Structure 1
Amino acid sequence: MGRGRAAVSEQPRAPRAAAGLFNCSGPARSRGFSRPPRPPFARGGRRRWKPAGMEVLWAAGGLLLALSLLAFVLYCCYVQYIHAKYDHIPGAPRESFLFGHLPIIWRMVRKQEFTPDLLLQWAEKYGPVVRMNAFHRVSVLIVSPEGVKEFLMSPQHPKDPIVYGNLFSLFGERFLGNSLVTVCNHEHWHKQRRIIDPAFSRSYLIGLMETFNEKAEELMEKLEEKADGKTEFSMLSMMSRVTMDVIGKAAFGLELNALSDDQTPLPNAVTKIMEGLNKARDPFVKFMPGKQKLVKEIRESVRLLRRVGKQCIDQRREAIQNGKEATMDILTQILKGDALEKTRDDENILDNFMTFFVAGHETSSNQMTFTVMALGQHPEILERAQAEVDEVLGAKRDVDYEDLGKLTYLSQVLKESLRLYPPVSGTLRRLEKEHVINGIRIPADTTIFLNTYIMGRMEKFFKDPLTFDPARFSKDAPKPYYCYFPFSLGPRSCIGQVFAQMEVKVVMAKLLQRFEIQLVPGQSFKLIEAGTLKPLDGVICKLKPRSSARGCQA
């Protein structure tokens, strides 16, 4: 029994020893056994690694913050360096070290105030060379004839690539590209100008008088429907429609019929693009959730206009190559010039198609609307202009090319309108080398701002500048000396200025011949910047037929 008891008592030992291999709390530990180390993740390893991960994140965040602060400090030092470089140039006090004069401009924009009037005040107080700060960029406003002559008459001062580069595309869609207006490289510009110049020659433009008369007559018919002395309408809207019809047919052989319906695809696209140009001045608008639908419509409008332009180019080129009688418009002349140069750059032709279409109709419609506004405000000038039209045209319907030269007082009225209300108020150049203007040193790599609106309203250049006085441009009056440039000056002046003034003269002559003009009371007649300068209220008018116009006939 004792032996059996001993056997029974000894049998469990082996299992206990074996169990000790797997049981840390067993007696195996005292016999030299130790458990193998467990991987960290098996014993709450995540809790031990988490602090290390957070430390890395904190370290990275601290490093990023330090680098950001260092970059900010370095940028502030750079801005201070720029200030020191330009602070010898007179200018209004900066409202902010970093933002410069921008907060003042932003407040005016929010209140829908007209910012060129602020620049006019600065020009009169600090001119003729005025400094304007925005972050690290400095622009210099020049309001001296010496400066205008230097920077506009010489080809060595290119257009500012940053400013005009913004017109290359509109919300990501190629817009004006490298057109005559936007291209900064002088050789590229000169090549384009050589191709396009024949399309704007005097002999060719005379052939467009038929189109000018045709579209102007269609406008008169529309206005006759409103000429009851009671119907109020926007003169800007009507002028915009007729100039769109003119540029469509005279430049590209397109019958747009905007006078009948300005909501057809192409006129509507041009209107939407002009709205886009205004909105694009805010660089953040394309990121605003509430503006996405508008941005999409603007992009589609740009694509539509370029697509129509491409179709026009392809069809016209095919007609020319097949020896068919091509429509004699500006596009035909451009394609012939392009063929002679052997360039075949359709994208560049499209860029100029967009430029003529958008800028060509907008500027002329604004000029005519402002002229109607000024004549309505000055009945004695209106009466004299109508008397001249009656003398030159009599009762005939169409205006001949020879008649344009005889309408001298109307020419003075149109020039005076451009002095006070230039649709394109100014232009910019890039100063590549240091220059001295009126004794003030301007550093290299500076944006130069030249503004005909501002100079046209300064007493030092025009007596009683806010008075509308066409006599300033009479034959015997002294000529403005580099202080009046609504179409710019020098080699990069507007190629379409003769086209535009012929068109405007025909439309205005017919309008003065047919109607008495009355401005509706209560309008502000304020100006706004919307890509171009235009009247805020659109110049609301009422018309009555003139008794002398009833005998007008073809």
Structure 2
Amino acid sequence: MSLIHSLFVLTAHIIVLLLFLLFVALIGYCAYIKYIHLKNDHIPGPPRENFLFGHSPAFWRAMKNDELTHDLFLKWAEIYGPVYRINVLHYILVIITCPETVKEILMSSKYPKDMFLHTRLFSMFGQRFLGNGLVTARDHDLWYKQRRIMDPAFSSLYLRSLTGTFNEQAESLMGKLSDLADKKSEAHMLELVNKVTLGVIVKVAFGIDLELLENEASPFPEAIDTCLRGMVYNLRDVFFRFNPKNWAFVEEVRAACKLLRSTGSEWITKRREAIHNGGDVPKDILTQIIKAAGKEESMSKEDEEFMLDNFVTFFIAGQETTANQLAFCIMELARNPDILEKVQKEVDDVVGMKREISYDDLGKLVYLSQILKETLRIYPTAPGTSRDLLHDLVVDGVHIPAGATCIFSSYVSSRMEKFFKNPLEFNPDHFDPDAPKPYYTYFPFSLGPRSCLGQNFAQMEAKVVMAKLLQRFNFALTPGQSFGIRDVGTLRPKGGVVCTLTHRKPLGP
């Protein structure tokens, strides 16, 4: 009995000690947060809602109400100016819209991607996600090694050779849309272009034909969507995984990450074996990456993981952002019949009745290029980027201490009146060849050395798909749709862009 009593007393003492240590740790952490406040509160910014969580409650409310947190950033930029502060726990986020500072930081390799974003994207809920790939690598030498390997797969000469594949995949979409037009059925354009862009990246990059428009059972579209939704919660709610109500979804996200990485491992292994055995392999991006990587002096286990990280990066980013751009573009053209008529006339003049759109044709579609750029101005599907500040910086007369994370939002800058006249009006003339060029206020693919490697690939693909759509169909939005924006890490149309289509015949040159 005395032994049981002694164990009980010992356990009670341990619990009291642990609670005391926890209390001391909490007091210490609160003191550290107070120090951070004193160090940074001279920076303008909205009032904190909570001492500990800072401005986080505003983000949580927006997510709960399916609202866009980027609209908060825009509202605060208009109130507090070109540099303002946001508090999240002990993190200081500084949103900057000053073009000179955008240029200074994004055009330099001295400022690393921010540690918080790297950590939350490296893995999700304990499962490796983007790892140390091109998007997330913080170390410049590590990033540069990967970029050097990847560059040949995105050269202008190689991209020119992909026009046939872009045409082939876009034709599958045109066939699907033709059936829907004949049946007078609604076309859910966001869903359809998602399948096409995923089919393109998998075919072009990895030599696999998924035939997603016919194969409804493919697990990949749902896996990508699950990963993206998980990414938002992982970034904006650090306590998300600890809530038992979320555990089922957390496991879905982990399973989706595993599916993408295991698929990548399988495809990379098969292709490397084929190359090693001298087999006939397609001259696609995966082959170029593997061959280029083989020229490195040594390939460690971590290098192998980097290849897999970039597989997942291209698998997701290579289709999601382009699909969303296409859907937003279709939505705005349907809302602006004068612009639609003008671009259809251009497509008729350049492409005529041709089914195969050439690389040279793409260069002549000038007004379509303006439309695609204007789409990304109002709806930058990858809305911003961030960098860690390693040294003190003065922006517009405001001193920013080292240790802050600087946020650069193309969404915010592109929707500000001081940078673009009537910023919420869809106006392709913003990008007329004779119009003034935006000065570091428009960067949907980021800027500088860390700008998106696949931006030319994406815009070639978008041009081919849009040119074929404009050549073949008239389209109108079904009544009662939402024109709102949904944030799933990337920005996508909330209403899904549901259209009715009718056949048209181009006028020809």
- TM-score normalized by structure 2? 0.95
1:417-428 correspondence runs (5 A): 417-428=375-386
**Residue in 1 that maps onto 2:486:** 528
Following TM superposition, by how much is the alpha carbon of 1:278 offset from its aligned partner in structure 2, in angstroms? 3.8
- The structure, 1 or 2, with the larger RCO (C-alpha pairs under 8 Å, 6+ apart) is 2
Following TM superposition, by how much is the alpha carbon of 1:289 offset from its aligned partner in structure 2, in angstroms? 4.4
Task: Give secondary structure in 2 for the equivalent of 1:547.
Answer: coil
**Residue in 1 that maps onto 2:319:** 361
1:295 to 231, 234, 250: 250
1:495 to 439, 442, 453: 453
Supply the distance in 1 between the matched residues of 2:46 and 2:226 (Cα, whole angstroms).
36
**Residue in 2 that maps onto 1:179:** 133
1:10-409 correspondence runs (5 A): 50=5, 60-228=14-182, 230-281=184-235, 282-344=237-299, 345-409=303-367
Supply the distance in 1 between the matched residues of 2:234 and 2:211 (Cα, whole angstroms).
28
Structure 2 contact 189–498 (Cα < 8 Å) conserved: yes
Structure 2 contact 350–365 (Cα < 8 Å) conserved: yes
Supply the distance in 2 between the matched residues of 1:293 and 1:88 (Cα, whole angstroms).
43
1:437 to 391, 395, 403: 395
Structure 2 CA distance for partners of 1:244 and 1:405, relative to 1, 3 Å: same
Relative to structure 2, which stretch is displaced further, 83-92 or 55-64? 55-64
Supply the distance in 2 between the matched residues of 1:98 and 1:273 (Cα, whole angstroms).
29
Q: Which has the larger radius of gyration?
A: 1
Relative to structure 2, which stretch is displaced further, 490-499 or 271-280? 271-280
Supply the distance in 2 between the matched residues of 1:393 and 1:223 (Cα, whole angstroms).
19
Relative to structure 2, which stretch is displaced further, 540-549 or 424-433? 540-549
Structure 2 contact 120–234 (Cα < 8 Å) conserved: no
Following TM superposition, by how much is the alpha carbon of 1:462 offset from its aligned partner in structure 2, in angstroms? 0.5
Structure 1 contact 179–351 (Cα < 8 Å) conserved: yes
Structure 2 CA distance for partners of 1:289 and 1:99, relative to 1, 3 Å: closer
* Alignment gaps of 5+ in structure 2: none
Supply the distance in 1 between the matched residues of 2:32 and 2:107 (Cα, whole angstroms).
34
Task: Give secondary structure in 1 for the equivalent of 2:131.
Answer: coil
Structure 1 contact 416–469 (Cα < 8 Å) conserved: yes
Supply the distance in 2 between the matched residues of 1:73 and 1:309 (Cα, whole angstroms).
46
1:464 to 422, 442, 445: 422
Relative to structure 2, which stretch is displaced further, 500-509 or 331-340? 331-340
Supply the distance in 2 between the matched residues of 1:427 and 1:207 (Cα, whole angstroms).
31
Supply the distance in 2 between the matched residues of 1:279 and 1:132 (Cα, whole angstroms).
18
Following TM superposition, by how much is the alpha carbon of 1:548 offset from its aligned partner in structure 2, in angstroms? 3.0
**Residue in 1 that maps onto 2:443:** 485
Structure 2 CA distance for partners of 1:255 and 1:118, relative to 1, 3 Å: same
Following TM superposition, by how much is the alpha carbon of 1:79 offset from its aligned partner in structure 2, in angstroms? 1.4
Relative to structure 2, which stretch is displaced further, 285-294 or 212-221? 285-294
Following TM superposition, by how much is the alpha carbon of 1:285 offset from its aligned partner in structure 2, in angstroms? 4.2
**Residue in 2 that maps onto 1:14:** none
Task: Give secondary structure in 1 for the equivalent of 2:44.
Answer: coil
Question: Which letter maps to 1:543?
Answer: L
Question: Which letter maps to 1:128?
Answer: P
Supply the distance in 2 between the matched residues of 1:448 and 1:82 (Cα, whole angstroms).
16
Task: State the Cα deviation string for residues 154-210 of structure 1 (Å, max 9, x = none).
Answer: 000000022122111223222111100011000000010111100000000011111
Following TM superposition, by how much is the alpha carbon of 1:541 offset from its aligned partner in structure 2, in angstroms? 0.9
Question: Which letter maps to 1:452?
Answer: S
Supply the distance in 2 between the matched residues of 1:177 and 1:55 (Cα, whole angstroms).
47
Structure 1 contact 256–266 (Cα < 8 Å) conserved: no
Task: Give secondary structure in 2 for the equivalent of 1:481.
Answer: coil
Question: Which letter maps to 1:401?
Answer: Y
CA RMSD of aligned residues (A): 2.0
Supply the distance in 2 between the matched residues of 1:508 and 1:58 (Cα, whole angstroms).
70
Following TM superposition, by how much is the alpha carbon of 1:295 offset from its aligned partner in structure 2, in angstroms? 3.3
Supply the distance in 1 between the matched residues of 2:125 and 2:22 (Cα, whole angstroms).
30
Supply the distance in 1 between the matched residues of 2:180 and 2:276 (Cα, whole angstroms).
46
Structure 2 CA distance for partners of 1:440 and 1:285, relative to 1, 3 Å: closer
Supply the distance in 2 between the matched residues of 1:313 and 1:62 (Cα, whole angstroms).
54
Following TM superposition, by how much is the alpha carbon of 1:301 offset from its aligned partner in structure 2, in angstroms? 2.8
Supply the distance in 2 between the matched residues of 1:307 and 1:57 (Cα, whole angstroms).
45
Following TM superposition, by how much is the alpha carbon of 1:528 offset from its aligned partner in structure 2, in angstroms? 1.3
2:475 to 507, 517, 534: 517
Following TM superposition, by how much is the alpha carbon of 1:414 offset from its aligned partner in structure 2, in angstroms? 0.3
Supply the distance in 2 between the matched residues of 1:298 and 1:66 (Cα, whole angstroms).
36
**Residue in 2 that maps onto 1:10:** none
Supply the distance in 2 between the matched residues of 1:431 and 1:83 (Cα, whole angstroms).
17
Structure 2 contact 177–187 (Cα < 8 Å) conserved: no
Following TM superposition, by how much is the alpha carbon of 1:63 offset from its aligned partner in structure 2, in angstroms? 4.2
**Residue in 2 that maps onto 1:449:** 407
Supply the distance in 2 between the matched residues of 1:244 and 1:343 (Cα, whole angstroms).
32
Task: State the Cα deviation string for residues 396-441 of structure 1 (Å, max 9, x = none).
Answer: 1111000011000000000000000011000010011111111111
Question: Which letter maps to 2:328?
Answer: F
Structure 2 contact 97–409 (Cα < 8 Å) conserved: yes
Structure 2 contact 471–505 (Cα < 8 Å) conserved: no
Question: Which letter maps to 1:244?
Answer: L
Structure 2 CA distance for partners of 1:288 and 1:98, relative to 1, 3 Å: closer
Structure 1 contact 429–447 (Cα < 8 Å) conserved: yes
Question: Which letter maps to 1:302?
Answer: C
Following TM superposition, by how much is the alpha carbon of 1:275 offset from its aligned partner in structure 2, in angstroms? 3.7
Following TM superposition, by how much is the alpha carbon of 1:517 offset from its aligned partner in structure 2, in angstroms? 1.1
Supply the distance in 2 between the matched residues of 1:485 and 1:430 (Cα, whole angstroms).
18
Following TM superposition, by how much is the alpha carbon of 1:328 offset from its aligned partner in structure 2, in angstroms? 0.8
Supply the distance in 1 between the matched residues of 2:183 and 2:337 (Cα, whole angstroms).
17
Following TM superposition, by how much is the alpha carbon of 1:283 offset from its aligned partner in structure 2, in angstroms? 4.0
Following TM superposition, by how much is the alpha carbon of 1:56 offset from its aligned partner in structure 2, in angstroms? 5.5
